Structure 1
């Protein structure tokens, strides 16, 4: 399963700081299907996304991109499971029920981040995902995320 248009660009009315194409001040990450039940995102931080040492990425930004990449994956998957194109028909939304991140190494501020998410479980009300974040070829963080389905008008 692959696509040319980012998942986020298919979700109408998304103003999220991390992934919303409708937020001019946000990070605007872009996620794409990379295989069955898997998505990939490449994000290049800006210099002002730094931690205390200016050469490393802030941990909150790491959490945000992991959160947004996995939640958008859950949203897109739910559309696929319903037999619909992402963003069509009644809105499908998910919110974060659990975000468990293990920080393993500092992520470089001047290198692209590669995020890879895998769906490891799904049900009618929640999706469980695993996500890895690498920087400069090094695994910097891994996470387990529980995405919880919320009403379309939330």
Structure 2
């Protein structure tokens, strides 16, 4: 089994604030296939600066964790569906099409968070990902999002050519 995270294997040059290995200020989310072969998992301990209400994790941080981890779950499923290892070329890239998050219970600070995600349904150009966040054994939030397989160089070109 490969101990490298999906991020380090497939995008060691990544600069995303949430999951980019090369972002010196980022969260460095590291996602791995679970031994069940269905879920992709990650762990994160929020920094005290990511506090919302006293002793509670800021909901925006939870949204960022769901976004990054779910996106990597979608990409991991694409690699697996094609019978390829993460990091093989051509690179598979997805972006967020829709980000949904339901807060179940307040998420306490000082407790390691465990993310567990899976693709729900068909792995296609658009893939639905369900992502659960646990603080210890307590389910605190559920993400229900859609990720779209894209060529990110075309997206960046389109974004920078738009008139303000």
Structure 1 residue 146: Cα displacement: 0.6
- The number of residues matched between the two structures is 152
After the TM superposition, which of the residue ranges 4-13 and 87-96 deviates more from structure 2? 4-13
Q: Report the TM-score when normalising by structure 1.
A: 0.92
Q: Provide the rounded CA distance (Å) in 2 between the counterparts of 1:3 and 1:62.
A: 27
Distance 1:15 1:4 in 2: 21
Measure the CA separation in 2 of the matches of 1:7 and 1:33.
8
Q: Which has the higher helix share?
A: 2
Distance in 1 (CA, whole Å) between partners of 2:122 and 2:15 is 25
Could you say what the CA RMSD is over the residues aligned between the two structures, in angstroms?
Answer: 1.4
**What TM-score, normalized to structure 2?**
0.87
In structure 1, what is the Cα distance between the partners aligned to 2:2 and 2:77? 13
Q: Contact 1:44–1:110 (CA<8 Å) still a contact in 2? A: yes
Alignment of 1:131-146 (within 5 A): 131-146=131-146
Q: Between Structure 1 and Structure 2, which shows a larger proportion of strand residues? A: 1
Structure 1: state its 5+ residue gaps: none
Question: Secondary structure, in 3 states, of the residue corresponding to 2:75?
Answer: helix
Is the contact between residue 77 and residue 123 of structure 2 (CA under 8 Å) also seen in structure 1? no
- In 1, Cα distance between equivalents of 2:28 and 2:15: 10
Query: Unaligned stretches of 5+ in structure 2?
Result: 156-164
After the TM superposition, which segments of 4 or more aligned residues of structure 1 sit over 6 Å from their partners? none
Q: Which moved more, 1:107-116 or 1:78-87?
A: 78-87
Instruction: Give 1:152 shift.
Output: 4.8
Shift, 1:122, TM fit: 2.6
C-alpha distance in 2 between matches for 1:3 and 1:44: 23
Partner residue in 1 for 2:44: 43
> Aligned runs of 1:107-118 on 2, under 5 Å?
107-118=107-118
Instruction: Give the CA deviation at 1:15.
Output: 0.9
